[in-house]
Structure 1
Amino acid sequence: MPETTDQPATNGQPATPPASGAGIRLENLTKTYPGNPTPAVEDVSMEIKAGETVIFVGPSGCGKSTTLKMINRLIEPTSGRIRIGDEDVTDMDPVKLRRKVGYAIQASGLFPHMTVAQNIALVPKMLGWSKSRTKNRVEEMLDLVGLDPGEFHDRYPRQLSGGQQQRVGVARALAADPPVLLMDEPFGAVDPITRDHLQDELIRLQHELHKTICFVTHDFDEAIKLGDRIAVLRERSHIAQFDTPEAILTNPADDFVSGFVGAGAALKRLNLTRVRDVGVVDFPTAGIAEPLESIFDRLRSGAHNELLLLDRNRRPYKWLRRSDLARARETLARAGTLVTDTVTRDATLRDALEAVLTDNAGRVAVTGRRGEYIGVVDMETLMNNVHELLEADRLEAVEHQHELQEQRARLTQREQEGLDEGGGSRA
């Protein structure tokens, strides 16, 4: 993991390309606290591929956060080795190690006396980056997590919503361009809607950055949505199953894993498909600054009974129906229905389905990084995909049943052949 150094810029861009992920290998990692004979983490070995998002999920107290914190040695292992890339980091200076590993926690962990910019610039400054490079990096990071640098640069954490604080926390963790990002229940302290959007943001970031992410959660639905692979952990971080979300949903290793999967495995698979993978369609829109008569003409003559009114930043603002025309003769202020929920292209089909059902209108607006309108996804598209998933599960169950029947038939045949051979020898 080479330390990032100042490089001259070419055409306004850094000469050094962004660091991609590095593989992580845990070898017989154990943590025993003084005075406690039972290890908190015992003999954990795991290999995480470069650029992979791996989720640690398990019951409270199973050691998942302890295992995560041993990777950057916030908790020192009692025994075992940690390798990041080609480097054994078990014995290196832990402070230097932490500067090369991004770390994001629940409730963001921002320093309240520092501005947003100062929080994000913290590690680059420690690494000796120049003022100009650090300033550019802060603006780049804010843009990356969907926050306007001009608006948020000089704010303090107390002036941000919970979701904005978490975005800044992720920006700070990524500021020095580390190959590895550790995340300890980072979205656990925000409301469900904000949490969904933050999860979508992390998926989008990972598509762009290809970091190696280790993420701790107790929420199996979150694990399915975010993970390339999921490590289901028992007590002392013993690995019950380490596999892809789809493999765990369709073939849990034992009853313990089945308990985490819970009921409705087929519907949980909606977390494996993204809105970008299904049909996002265009929909009639109008800008809030357009003349009223122009908006009315579009409503009257259009094939749809409604249109989506966009604000000055092209963000979804209101659904405006033909029945609203009488109340909108002079102003749109009292007409239409405010858009209460949107989804991004990285949202799951489950997120989209929940948004559509909540809205009761059979569609939900799809937005980009800064909330700008992209299109809509409708109930028909979502239900078609649900039916395809359920049909695939039904066919898989039938195939599995046929395999079991064939296995039983082969076993019966072998038993019969054994009886026949035994009978022949007695004769």
Structure 2
Amino acid sequence: MAENTATGGATIELENLTKRYPGNPAPSVDNVSMEIGAGETVIFVGPSGCGKSTTLKMINRLIEPTSGRIRINGEDVTDIDPVRLRRKVGYAIQSAGLFPHMTVAQNIGLVPKMAGWSKARIRDRVEELLDLVGLDPAEFHGRYPRQLSGGQQQRVGVARALAADPPVLLMDEPFGAVDPITRDHLQDELIRLQHELHKTIVFVTHDFDEAIKLGDRIAVLRERSHIAQFDTPEAILTNPADDFVSGFVGAGAALKRLNLTRVRDVEITEYPTVTVDDPLQDIFDRLRRSGTNEILMLDKRGRPYKWLRRGDLMRAKGSLARAGTLVHDTVTREATLRDALEAVLTDNAGRVAVTGRRGEYTGVVDMETLMNSVHELLEADRLDAIEHQHELEEAREELTHTEQEGPGGEARA
């Protein structure tokens, strides 16, 4: 694989950015100013039609601003050639937007080819990026988009957006068209990629839980992209600016904070495992030595395949082909505790397998660990509420004391 020489992110400054369409009395985006740090992931979230996608598309001038300025790493890009700008800004959209007549490799290599890269350099870059997004280059290089699942198409779409190593990546609801389980895994993959690449990511979503999970900061936008609050996920959850922002936070803020903690932050335990190639007697012996009632079978590539209980083995009659329960849900180390809790509850067995970047087994997170984390969050919220109540009481006492004193500081008669 080619050596990863990826560049980091770039600062983005939006200054009084406005978009007016002919015939509309009010602007679609009105006077938006914002500073985004290099390597930061910023999420635009807001109601449908509030202008978040329009604001995003003005950054790479897919939509031309009516007025205002856009600076990337201090360079004013408002007046430069938009084609040159777009080669410096990656762009990923819902349903991937891949060209159906091109192979995976041709889709990913399109922008580098336009930029004049050599064939050898493009080939190395395609291989590097497929590996980076968790797709085997040998297996996927020559496939066409119709031969891919929705999740695989989105991974290729992200790889294509990163192909020319841009410092900025714009993402417009990129995971909105896939099923919830695939969406969770794609979110985890993006978090892992960002840890490696440190790009500046601006991401549009209507899903506040997705915003909490992915964002370093979240911009909650009202109509015409007016900023209601621009802050960290934790600050917005614990101290929403007004009722509009509170409406996005919704009920259960403490549980939503499970989206701020990753599986890698809690204890991942070992679990007895066997492989599909192990003889039946060896599997019996392994289970007996483990002291547990269950064992995890891995496939030929080390990925979770089946949960096997003692009773399954007793009924196996020489073959495990129909024995056990297939593993449906797994989580990665980048998954949130909320993802893990949902997987555990869906499986109804008190644990979920944790996997690496290629789906290989790395351990297990159990219900006890997750519930301890929930209790810690609830207790922290209870203590915060008590402290807030004490502050209100002290403020009232101070106000009462001030009112009892005269304007000159003396007590009233």
- What TM-score do you get using the length of structure 1 for normalisation? 0.95
Consecutive unaligned residues in structure 1, runs of 5 or more: 1-10
| Residue in 2 that maps onto 1:155 | 143
Write the letter of the residue equivalent to 1:13. Answer: E
Offset at 1:422?
A: 6.7
| Residue in 2 that maps onto 1:241 | 229
Q: Give me the whole-angstrom Cα distance separating, in 1, the residues matched to 2:199 and 2:346.
A: 34
Q: Percent identity?
A: 82
| Residue in 1 that maps onto 2:254 | 266
Matches within 5 A, 1:200-239: 200-239=188-227
Bigger mean CA offset, 336-345 vs 296-305? 296-305
| Residue in 2 that maps onto 1:13 | 3
Offset at 1:303?
A: 1.5
| Residue in 2 that maps onto 1:187 | 175
Q: Give me the whole-angstrom Cα distance separating, in 2, the residues matched to 1:151 and 1:302.
A: 37
Q: Give me the whole-angstrom Cα distance separating, in 1, the residues matched to 2:223 and 2:372.
A: 41
Instruction: Name which of 345, 348, 354 aligns with 2:336.
Output: 348
Consecutive unaligned residues in structure 2, runs of 5 or more: none
Offset at 1:35?
A: 1.5
Matches within 5 A, 1:350-365: 350-365=338-353
On the 8 A contact 1:106/1:186 being kept in 2, the answer is yes
Write the letter of the residue equivalent to 1:204. Answer: R
Bigger mean CA offset, 340-349 vs 414-423? 414-423
| Residue in 2 that maps onto 1:386 | 374
Instruction: Name which of 371, 394, 399 aligns with 1:406.
Output: 394
Instruction: Name which of 401, 410, 413 aligns with 1:421.
Output: 410
Write the letter of the residue equivalent to 2:216. Answer: D
Q: Give me the whole-angstrom Cα distance separating, in 1, the residues matched to 2:24 and 2:7.
A: 40
Q: Give me the whole-angstrom Cα distance separating, in 2, the residues matched to 1:34 and 1:216.
A: 25
On the 8 A contact 2:40/2:200 being kept in 1, the answer is yes
Matches within 5 A, 1:97-108: 97-108=85-96
Matches within 5 A, 1:299-378: 299-378=287-366
On the 8 A contact 2:313/2:320 being kept in 1, the answer is no
Q: Give me the whole-angstrom Cα distance separating, in 1, the residues matched to 2:80 and 2:386.
A: 54
Write the letter of the residue equivalent to 2:249. Answer: V
Offset at 1:191?
A: 0.5
What does the per-residue CA deviation read over 1:55-80, in whole Å, with 9 as the maximum and x for residues that have no partner? 00000000000000000000000000
Task: Say if 2:72 is the partner of 1:80.
Answer: no
Write the letter of the residue equivalent to 2:151. Answer: G
| Residue in 2 that maps onto 1:7 | none
SS in structure 2 at match of 1:13: coil
Offset at 1:12?
A: 5.7
Q: Give me the whole-angstrom Cα distance separating, in 2, the residues matched to 1:24 and 1:269.
A: 28
Q: Give me the whole-angstrom Cα distance separating, in 1, the residues matched to 2:318 and 2:123.
A: 47
Matches within 5 A, 1:53-72: 53-72=41-60
Q: Give me the whole-angstrom Cα distance separating, in 1, the residues matched to 2:193 and 2:184.
A: 14
Bigger mean CA offset, 327-336 vs 312-321? 327-336
Q: Report the count of equivalent residues.
A: 412
SS in structure 1 at match of 2:322: coil
| Residue in 2 that maps onto 1:40 | 28
What does the per-residue CA deviation read over 1:17-60, in whole Å, with 9 as the maximum and x for residues that have no partner? 31100000000000001121210000000000000000000000
| Residue in 2 that maps onto 1:8 | none
On the 8 A contact 2:2/2:124 being kept in 1, the answer is no
Task: Say if 2:72 is the partner of 1:95.
Answer: no
- What TM-score do you get using the length of structure 2 for normalisation? 0.98
Write the letter of the residue equivalent to 2:186. Answer: L
Offset at 1:327?
A: 2.2
Q: 1:406 to 1:98 in 2, by over 3 A?
A: same
Write the letter of the residue equivalent to 2:350. Answer: G
| Residue in 2 that maps onto 1:115 | 103
Q: Give me the whole-angstrom Cα distance separating, in 1, the residues matched to 2:71 and 2:194.
A: 22
| Residue in 2 that maps onto 1:145 | 133
Write the letter of the residue equivalent to 2:39. Answer: G
SS in structure 2 at match of 1:418: coil
Q: 1:294 to 1:209 in 2, by over 3 A?
A: same
What does the per-residue CA deviation read over 1:152-177, in whole Å, with 9 as the maximum and x for residues that have no partner? 00000000000000000000000110
On the 8 A contact 1:327/1:334 being kept in 2, the answer is no
RMSD: 1.2
Offset at 1:229?
A: 0.2
Write the letter of the residue equivalent to 2:171. Answer: M
Q: Give me the whole-angstrom Cα distance separating, in 2, the residues matched to 1:222 and 1:188.
A: 10
| Residue in 2 that maps onto 1:6 | none
Write the letter of the residue equivalent to 2:86. Answer: R
| Residue in 2 that maps onto 1:293 | 281
Q: Give me the whole-angstrom Cα distance separating, in 1, the residues matched to 2:124 and 2:183.
A: 28
Q: Give me the whole-angstrom Cα distance separating, in 2, the residues matched to 1:12 and 1:147.
A: 15
On the 8 A contact 1:225/1:348 being kept in 2, the answer is yes
SS in structure 2 at match of 1:55: strand
What does the per-residue CA deviation read over 1:187-211, in whole Å, with 9 as the maximum and x for residues that have no partner? 0000011000000000000000000
Task: Say if 2:235 is the partner of 1:253.
Answer: no
Q: Give me the whole-angstrom Cα distance separating, in 2, the residues matched to 1:241 and 1:13.
A: 40
Write the letter of the residue equivalent to 2:410. Answer: E
Write out the 4+ residue segments of structure 1 that deviate beyond 4 Å after TM superposition: none
